[in-house]
Amino acid sequence: MDSSIKKKRARGRLSREMIEDAAFEVIEREGLSGFSMRKLAAALGCEAMSIYHHYPSQAHLYEALVDRQMNALVIPGDGLPWRERVRIGMQEFRRVATEHPAFAPFIVVYRMNSPPCLAKLNSIIGLFEAGGFGPELSARLFRAAGYYLMGAILDETAGYAKGPSAVTTVSSEEMARDFPSVVAAGAHFGTTGFDKTFDLGLEMLLDEMERIRDGARAATAKAGSDRGHSN
């Protein structure tokens, strides 16, 4: 058992916070496929039934873990410019989703319908509505931003950071001889380059969002002007 968990257990009864802390630790060690309530109970030094008293099933526990991460997501207030609010919101989601890398694939595909998750989704969609995009475009841009975020999160937690996944590997000599562009690009694929790559793509996405919005506004203004002249 982890020493920090031992200390918490020694101080008193099992709590939801203790269970969730231990669950994240077990998932990071065992992976999602290797996680079980039995292994969690062993890490906590208790019977599995003690955990089921707090969480009726593993699905309930996982939902609590997602809710916990979403509750930690900070949505910037309306005192900042729209672009800065969306930038911070997307950076925040990436931060909380990658805080526990082994759990990230679950949170990426999880359909967030619990009250805490819905509250965060409502606030995030509201950021787009505040940008003057209108209901339909706000929804589509929210989804497009999600596509970018989810891809980045999966790549950073389960992609190139994990190294090669092919069974047939290529030697360093072959790489240098036959795939020089891959070798050159690979220098920027590591974990130290994640932030710069993510921020580059994010700025491109925000640029395009504002271009679409400004274009729609200009078209609406022109249509109004044309109607005025025709009258």
Query: How many percent of the chain have pLDDT more than 90?
Result: 69
Q: How far apart are CA 35 and CA 27, in angstroms?
A: 6
> Which residues of the chain does CATH 1.10.10 include?
3-56
Question: From CA 75, how far away is CA 25, in angstroms rounded?
Answer: 27
Q: What is the mean pLDDT of residues 76-99?
A: 93
CA angle, corner 137, sides to 220 and 204, nearest 5?
Answer: 100
Query: To 10 degrees, the CA torsion angle through 123, 18, 64, 92?
Result: 30
pTM across the whole model: 0.84
Class of the 74-162+178-209 domain?
mainly alpha
Q: What is the pLDDT of residue 216?
A: 81
Q: Where in the chain is the domain with CATH 1.10.357.10?
A: 74-162+178-209
Q: Which residue has the higher pLDDT, 12 or 103?
A: 103
Q: For a pLDDT cut of 70, what percent of the chain falls above it?
A: 93
167-225 tens-digit pLDDT: 888 999 999 999 999 999 988 888 889 999 999 999 999 999 999 989 888 887 777 77
The whole-number pLDDT of residue 2 equals 59
CATH of domain 3-56: 1.10.10
